[in-house]
Structure 1
């Protein structure tokens, strides 16, 4: 039996952004949107700038665009 993987929806990405900005833990965000906590961890790792000057903020729209480009 093969596993089926679903990409996060734009709505889920906006929820992640809002909850992350409010300081929610990744595990709590995962519970709220109904995905595994590793999904949230990977999403933030992929889409929060790690270098440079300025805020390290998750941007749902940019994350969605990057996903569509892959």
Structure 2
């Protein structure tokens, strides 16, 4: 996405907050070439990911846990 957006990347993504999972380990490298700040949450603190948890809650209203999305 950074290469597609070019100079607009830092305007679109001012901050990125993510888990400490290994797949996001290189995400901090974005801070080197952009004005985007990358934040990593503490383990087991879902309150630090407000937008993600809000979306999960909205999805759970219509798709209960354990039910397939395709159904």
TM-score for the superposition, normalised by structure 2: 0.23
The structure, 1 or 2, with the larger RCO (C-alpha pairs under 8 Å, 6+ apart) is 1
More strand per residue: 2
Please say which structure displays the higher CA radius of gyration.
Answer: 2
